[in-house]
Amino acid sequence: MEMTIFDIGGEELSLHEAAAISIVGECEEQTYQLKENSPSWLAIALDMLVLEGIMEVVKSGEIWKFSEYGEEMWEDPDFLSDLNIFTEVARMSPGFYN
């Protein structure tokens, strides 16, 4: 299986990892709880971000939040600029995240 990796603010992220970071960042207190209608790829992407040290698990399989490193990334203007451009393009393309 081939995976495309994007350089977003100096971080190498997959499409779904970038989407997951954006989703968590938009949540109150940068904490995300899976919902019944959450896309199937989201939990896997969040778990991958845990392995990369960007996210932490608050409650296994249900709640994730930024790690200290993830918070630093989220506050970096270069990272946010790249992520915002990336997510806006993705939102213009129907089914891009699926």
CATH 2.40.50 is the classification of domain 15-89? no
Q: CB burial class (10 A; 0-12, 13-18, 19+) of residue 36?
A: exposed
Instruction: Kindly list the domain boundaries of the chain, sorted by start residue.
Output: 15-89
* 82 Cβ contact partners less than 8 Å away, ≥ 6 residues apart: 7, 8, 9
Is 78's pLDDT higher than 90? yes
pLDDT number for residue 1: 39
Q: In whole angstroms, what is the distance from residue 9 CA to residue 31 CA?
A: 21
Beta bridge partners of 89: none
CA 14 to mean position of chain CA atoms:
9
pLDDT number for residue 75: 93
Position with higher pLDDT, 44 vs 60: 44
User: Which residue reads 């971080």 in tokens?
Assistant: 11
Question: CA dihedral in degrees (40, 86, 54, 31; nearest 10)?
Answer: -60
Is 97's pLDDT higher than 80? no
pLDDT number for residue 52: 94
Query: To the nearest whole number, what is the mean pLDDT of the chain?
Result: 87
Task: Write out pLDDT tens, residues 20-57.
Answer: 999 999 888 889 998 888 888 899 999 999 999 999 99
- Please give the average per-residue pLDDT across 59-80, as a whole number: 92
Is 68's pLDDT higher than 90? yes
Is 98's pLDDT higher than 80? no
